[in-house]
Structure 1
Amino acid sequence: MSAPVTVSAAASAAERILVFWVPDWPVRAYLRELESAEEDPPATPAIALIANRQVIACSDAARAEGVRVGLRETEAQSRCPSLAVPPHDPEVDERRFAPVIASLEHLIPGVEPLRPGLCAMRARGPARYYGGEDRAADAILSLAEQLGLPGARVGIADGRFAAEQAARASSTDPAVTAPSEGVRIVPAGAAAAFLSSLPVGRAAQPAFAEVLHGLGIRTLGALAALPEDAVRQRFGPEGVAVHRRACASGPQHGSEVRPRTPVRELAVELSLEPPVESAEQLAFACMALAERFVSGLAEDRLVCTALRIELTDDIGVRHERVWSHPHRFTAADAVNRVRWQVAAMPTTPAGAESGREGAGIACVRLSPAHTDRAAAHEPGLWSTEPDTRVHHHLSRVQSRLGHTGVGTMGLVGGRLLAERQSFVPWSTGRAGRRESRSSAAGPWPGAIPGPTPSLVFPEPIPVELCDSSGAPVAIDDEDLLTARPARLRVSGTGFDAPVSDWSLPWPLREQWWRGAPERFRLQLQLADGDAWLLLHEQGRWHAEGRYD
């Protein structure tokens, strides 16, 4: 039985606070990011986001298997062998929650984001407008359903901390009323009684909670029963802050909710009636839209370096993609991206399940995925006109040939030389490239150490490597050459210069569980200085590259 709760006279009465909470928001943000990138979600519903080898957030299916936040990755996988463990990206959480906050601000002004998935607002204004706290909460949950957030919760209580705990409470908890699904309301004046049975770990940091446990203080009610002056003398400011949360008392000055300044809407949208089918027609219709988009950014002294284009057809299917730019988007660049995105969308025949459907595009939305200060993209003191001309002319050629018509080559991760070459379309910055799980720097066991060949063959060329007697040289069971190489013949053409030096062969063993054959590499130099990189696979030699 908890001791009676006493509130210090110095504590002020807490105002009514409304908290909106989306459970497991990092997991939802991760799935939305995959959907926008048109990537397949994990095959299992059990998902745990990992950072520093620990579980940061997990889905309901993972919790049902015993996975909890804070577990080590190996422990979580041992509890749920089918668990998907993608890395956690805090930037995705914030970016995906920003539109939710903007939608809430259209419904109820004065929203303070607490963290991705959680925000607070004063309850008095919404309650007076909608005719009660329960009706205001229902309006917020209706908006959440429209935003595709089923299972969102609303908690209302005296003070922000009590409202957060109310949002997580069950309908059977004491001093809690549940007028509808997802709404938890603690009546005015009952917040201290509601909090009294909760463990002190809800309001204190783990180290401080452990100290309180050692003193026999295990519930917030037991802590609230102590005089505030005694808590201040014993534990200092940290103890006073936890004590005030336990007492459900308000701040000494001002309000607990500090609404953010509403962010100006930088996205622009165009509805098309009738829907447009042709990419060229859609690009022509979006010229004014792109000009308005760039002008709006310029008013705030911003430029767009990553552009999100959302195309919705007449039956509601949305096609979303993020385009990046090495410098900044102009109106012409944005129009070109719209044209390329429409042209890349496959047209699906009747009865198919994916691709482009309906009669055409009915809505176009342009929004900045990443912005930068315009001052950072102004030309320098010395002229950069040659680079500007090159970019201008290549962009014009690309606008005629398409997105993949002009590009440059870049290096990615891989073992074979041909696998490491990647074509990057022009006007695509690093943010627009899909990074592989391992970078180009490796580690890649079996990759070439040191300089790579200056000439790489798109397809390895058949070669013959023979010893002094003309017998072919092979690889034995100990991964060594069966004889000393003497002559090299490439595509039936022999070389007068004999083989002078060669390296030990080194193996390339990958995906052996799938039956992939063993491969070996060999660096070879002829007497005249000519050098080759050879590849041995299934008893045959091939030339992978040539050194100058």
Structure 2
Amino acid sequence: MASGTADDRTPRVLVVWCPDWPVVAVTGDDPVAVTEGGRILACSEGARAAGVRQGQRLKLAQRLCPELELRDRDPEAETRRFEPVVAAVEAFTPRVEVIRPGLCAIPVKGPGRYFGGEEALAAKVGRAVADALGQPLVPDAVPGAPAVEERQPTAPPPAATAPRARVGVADGLFAAVLAARAGVLVPAGRTAEFLASYPVSALGDEALAELLGRLGLPTVGAFAALPAESVADRFGPSGTVAHRLARGLQPRPLVLRDEEPDLAVEQRFDPPEPSAEPLVFVARALAEQLHQRLAGAGLTCRRVAVEVACADGRTASRLWRHEGRLSATALAERVRWQLQAWQGAGTFTGTGDGDGDGNGNGEGREDTGFTLLRLAPDGLSPDQGRQLALWGQAVADDRVERAVARVQAVLGHAGLRRIEPAGGRGPGEQAVKVPWGEPYEAAVPADAPWPGRLPEVWPAVVLREPAPVRVLDGAGRPVMVDGRAGVSARPALVVVRGREERVDGWTGPWPAVEYWWDQSLARRRARFQVVVEGGRALLLTVEGGAWYLEAGYD
């Protein structure tokens, strides 16, 4: 098995993993699951016991567990709830990297020496995290120092038996994450052995894993045994990175520099800024400057430190790790999540409201408010470049992002919105307005089957609120629709704002019965398309015996 050289040693890393953290951050009775992109992102133990798994489609999950309660993902709540855990780990070293809410890492070298070794450090961190979560310490959550062959899993352990938080130690972040999931401390220099029995899908490259499987290399150990030169020739840069991870090395060799360039960007506020929201807009501009400085130096970074300071002398800093290019919008989101988490944890309670109660109604004081926002890149490495789209589309996207940042700085974060497709039956339900830069995932995909959905000839005008109308038959009686979608008579007149219009043609109904399982939300309605005199087409809805004008066609 290949190993690293003296200049290519992989640092020891301790990882704290909180299973199913998206579920922890939302409220709901067990069984509950958090969804993203029309699939299950995370689920509770009760849902898992019923057969619900990460990555399942919602229909399958609800069929396996009819009482399953679904919740949309809330990244802000995840960050806010994870802040006490990060603060507990930060007591051992300020170099805490938040990989994502629910997963953080620290280097072992310094803290391990101070706290009496890796075992002692892992035990102390495990106890601190358990106290921060307000839960009893689970013995398996704190690793000892077993030999790899005694505790090495043959596959990633099922989360069904995982405690609320686990600690793992190994060479490098990749292996340390897997060690945390297994709850083990991998001895130094034996990380490759620990990884050997994992499937190649654990490397995180689906295309590479599929190809290796077809080549008869189903495990990480089989892939790691290949010569590095042959892997580079056959699989290119991405294969080389995966091969180094499989061998227990860092993703790329260390690049020694005589002097680390100072590429940090910052904005000072004089007078102090009392609100956190403007800092989000400033963060977008600073992120653009940071990208430009990195590009000018031919570098990229794996981590970004978000640092803030207040007029009363308080400061706070947090490292965010990312893979690939962290856009200005994504970095601004992380700044917003972190500020909200700090305020929720009481780090900056009362900032800018003057009276210290945090409600923003006090008289301003000179010793309150934010005075500094700083973004500092960390983990610098040579930039290998990125593939541009045809006809300079990537450059155009960057220009759009910069223009959006300037407009939002004037109109506010929600002042500029984009239209996203959403699931629904009526025209007003099939599109939603989302603030630019905010992620959006429909609870049910827009292209999912929607019984009673209108055919794809969409109205040109959709009313904000449906307008009451009357629909009459030839004898002047109201037209009714029964429970079996039967029409009492042919529509002959539509009365809109007191004006009668003759119906020249009509089609329908399209009945829709929604939320029949919840009496507070249950709806039964039907839609009609009618053509009135003059060739104008209308979309009408009947619900509870009342008719409404919902939209109009050109």
Amino acid at match of 2:143: V
Q: Which residue of 446, 449, 461 corresponds with 2:467?
A: 461
Paired residue for 2:532? 526
Q: What residue is the counterpart of 1:419 in the other structure?
A: 429
Deviation at 1:82, TM superposition (A): 7.0
Q: Quick one: structure 1 residues 519 and 275, their matched pair in 2 at CA, closer, same or farther if it must change by over 3 Å?
A: same
| CA 262–511 in structure 1, closer or farther in 2 if over 3 Å, else same | farther
Q: Does 1:43 align with 2:42?
A: no
The aligned runs of 1:286-365 (5 Å cut-off) are: 290=287, 293-295=290-292, 297-298=294-295, 299-300=297-298, 329=328, 359-361=368-370, 364=373
> 2: CA distance between counterparts of 1:546 and 1:289?
46
Give the corresponding residue for 2:234: none
Structure-1 residue corresponding to 2:274: 277
Q: 2:20 aligns with which of 20, 23, 27?
A: 27
Q: Deviations over 1:229-280 (max 9, x none)?
A: xxxxxxxx99x99xxxxxxxxxxxxx97435559999997889999741469
Judging changes above 3 Å, is the alpha-carbon distance between structure 1 residues 261 and 459 closer, same or farther for their aligned structure 2 residues?
Answer: same
Task: Please point out which of 118, 133, 150 is paired with 1:162.
Answer: 150
Residue correspondence of structure 1 range 86-125 to structure 2 within 5 A? none
CA contact (8 A) 2:108 2:118 kept: no
5 Å matches for 1:194-205? none
Are the structure 2 counterparts of residues 275 and 397 from structure 1 closer, same or farther at C-alpha, using a change threshold of 3 Å?
Answer: closer
Query: Aligned equivalents of 1:507 and 1:256: distance in 2?
Result: 60
- The separation in 2 between residues aligned to 1:354 and 1:466, in whole angstroms, is 55
Provide the residue aligned with 1:406 in structure 2: 416
Q: State the partner residue of 1:545.
A: 551
Q: Is the 8 A contact 1:120 1:257 kept in 2?
A: no
Aligned to 1:153: 142
Letter in structure 2 aligned against 1:464: R
Contact 1:461 1:542 in 2 (8 A): yes
- Looking at structure 1, the residues matched to 185 and 332 of structure 2 have their Cα atoms a distance apart, in angstroms, of 47
State the Cα distance separating 1:544 from its structure 2 match. 1.0
- State the secondary structure of the residue aligned to 1:154: coil
Closer/same/farther in 2, CA of residues 120 and 397 from structure 1, 3 Å limit: closer
1:111-147 deviation digits (Å, cap 9, x = unpaired): 9x9xx97999999x99888665644545665886799
Larger radius of gyration: 1
* Pairwise CA distance, 1:536: 0.8
> Could you tell me whether the CA contact under 8 Å between 1:310 and 1:321 is conserved in 2?
no
Report deviation, 1:455.
Answer: 1.7
Residue equivalent to 1:440:
446
Q: Give the structure 1 partner of residue 249 of structure 2.
A: 258
Q: Secondary structure at the match of 1:294?
A: helix
C-alpha distance 390-436 of structure 1, shift in aligned 2 (>3 A): closer
CA contact (8 A) 2:539 2:550 kept: yes
1:437, distance to aligned residue in structure 2 (A): 1.0
* Structure 1 residue 510, shift from structure 2 partner: 1.0
**Alignment-mate amino acid for residue 27 of structure 2:** P
* Partner secondary structure for residue 531 of structure 2: strand
Q: Distance in 1 between matches of 2:456 and 2:318?
A: 44
Letter in structure 1 aligned against 2:510: W
Shift of 1:441: 2.5
Counterpart amino acid of 1:532?
L
Paired AA for residue 44 in structure 1: D
Structure 1: give runs of 5+ residues left out of the alignment. 1-16, 35-40, 170-181, 192-201, 207-236, 242-254
Segments of structure 2 that go 5 or more residues without pairing to the other structure are 1-10, 163-181, 200-217, 223-245, 378-382
Distance 1:273 1:366 in 2: 18
Partner Cα distance (1:454, 1:436) in 2: 23
Distance 1:146 1:268 in 2: 36
Asked if the contact 1:311–1:361 (Cα under 8 Å) also holds between the matched residues in 2, the reply is yes
Instruction: Give the partner amino acid of 2:150.
Output: A
Alignment partners' CA distance in 2, 1:47 and 1:292: 42
The one-letter amino acid of 1:508's match is A
Q: 2:150 is paired with a residue of what secondary structure?
A: helix
Counterpart AA for 1:155: G
- CA–CA distance in 2 between the matches of 1:67 and 1:459? 42
CA-to-aligned-CA distance 1:4-36 (integer Å, 9 cap, x gap) = xxxxxxxxxxxxx9995756x4413x357x5xx
1:199 corresponds to which residue?
Answer: none
Deviation at 1:402, TM superposition (A): 1.9
1:503 corresponds to which residue?
507
Kindly indicate whether the alpha-carbon contact (under 8 Å) linking 2:51 and 2:65 is maintained by their aligned counterparts in 1.
Answer: no
Q: Distance in 2 between matches of 1:134 and 1:303?
A: 31
Tell me whether 1:494 sits opposite 2:500 in the alignment. yes
One-letter code of the match for 2:291?
A: V
Instruction: Read off the aligned partner of 2:505 and give its amino acid letter.
Output: D
Whether the 8 Å CA contact 1:62–1:83 is kept in 2: the answer is no
> So what's the TM-score if we normalise by structure 1?
0.52
Task: Compute the displacement of 1:535 (Å).
Answer: 0.7
Q: Secondary structure at the match of 2:505?
A: strand
Work out whether 1:475 is the aligned partner of 2:481: yes
CA contact (8 A) 2:23 2:34 kept: no
Distance (Å, rounded) in 2 between the aligned partners of 1:319 and 1:482: 67
2:512 partner letter? L
Find the counterpart in structure 1 of residue 519 from structure 2. Answer: 514
The 5 A counterparts of 1:167-182 are none
CA contact (8 A) 2:307 2:315 kept: no
Residue by residue over 1:166-205, the C-alpha shift from the partner in whole angstroms, topping out at 9 and shown as x without a partner, is x999xxxxxxxxxxxx9989999xx9xxxxxxxxxx9989
Describe the shift of the 1:492–1:147 C-alpha distance in structure 2 as closer, same or farther (beyond 3 A): same
CA contact (8 A) 1:503 1:522 kept: yes
TM-superposed deviation, 1:451: 0.6
The 3 A distance-change label for structure 1 pair 137 and 534 is closer
Give the direction of change, closer, same or farther, for the CA distance of 1:380–1:443 in structure 2 (3 Å limit).
same
Tell me if structure 2 keeps the 8 A contact 1:18–1:155: no
Against the structure 1 CA distance between its residues 400 and 536, is the aligned structure 2 distance closer, same or farther, given a 3 Å change threshold?
same
Note if contact 1:499-1:526 (Cα within 8 Å) is conserved in structure 2: yes
Match of 1:246 in 2: none
Mapped partners of 2:281, 2:523: distance in 1: 53
The 2-side partners of 1:438 and 1:54 are apart by: 9
Following the alignment from structure 2 to structure 1, what is the Cα–Cα distance between the partners of residues 251 and 107? 10
Q: 1:48 to 1:31 in 2, by over 3 A?
A: closer
**1:514 partner letter:** Q
The percentage of counterpart residues that share the same residue type is: 31
Mapped partners of 2:108, 2:332: distance in 1: 40
TM-score (norm 2): 0.51
